Amino acid sequence: MAHPISAFQAAYISIEVLIALVSVPGNILVIWAVKMNQALRDATFCFIVSLAVADVAVGALVIPLAIIINIGPQTEFYTCLMVACPVLILTESSILALLAIAVDRYLRVKIPVRYKSVVTPRRAAVAIACCWIVSFLVGLTPMFGWNNLHKMQRTQELNGSHTEFVITCQFETVISMEYMVYFNFFVWVLPPLLLMLLIYLEVFNLIRKQLNKKVSSSSNDPQKYYGKELKIAKSLALVLFLFALSWLPLHVLNCITLFCPSCQTPHILTYIAIFLTHGNSAMNPIVYAFRIKKFRTAFLQIWNQYFCCKTNKNATSTTTAETGN
Q: If you write DSSP's letter for every residue of 241-278 in order, what string do you get?
A: HHHHHHHHHHHHHHHHHHH-TT----HHHHHHHHHHHH
Q: What is the CATH number of the domain that holds 295?
A: 1.20.1070.10
Does 119 have pLDDT greater than 80?
yes
Helix (H, G, I), strand (E, B) or coil at 191: helix
Digit-coded pLDDT (tens) for 286-322: 999 999 999 999 999 999 888 885 544 554 444 344 4
249 CB neighbour count, 10 Å cutoff: 17
For residue 244, what are the CA distances in angstroms to 41, 74, 240, 275, 276?
27, 34, 6, 14, 10
217 occurs within a structural domain: yes
Tell me which residue range forms the domain holding 197. Answer: 7-305
pLDDT of 324: 45
How high is the pLDDT of residue 220? 53
pLDDT single digits (tens) 132-183: 999 999 999 999 999 999 998 888 777 766 566 789 999 999 999 999 999 9
Residue 315 lies in a domain: no
Sign of CA pseudo-dihedral 123, 55, 66, 263 = positive
**Residue 41: per-residue pLDDT:** 83
Determine, yes or no, domain membership for 317: no
Q: Which residue has the higher pLDDT, 311 or 278?
A: 278
Residue 314 lies in a domain: no
CA atoms within 13 Å, Cβ hemisphere of 284: 34
Q: 117: buried, middle or exposed (CB in 10 Å: 19+, 13-18, 0-12)? A: exposed
pLDDT of 325 reads 43
pTM reported for the whole predicted model: 0.90
CB 223 within 8 A of CB 214: yes
Helix (H, G, I), strand (E, B) or coil at 166: strand
Cα 325 to Cα 74, 311, 314, 321: the distances in Å are: 65, 21, 17, 6
Residue 2 placed within a domain: no
Q: Give me the number of domains the chain comprises.
A: 1
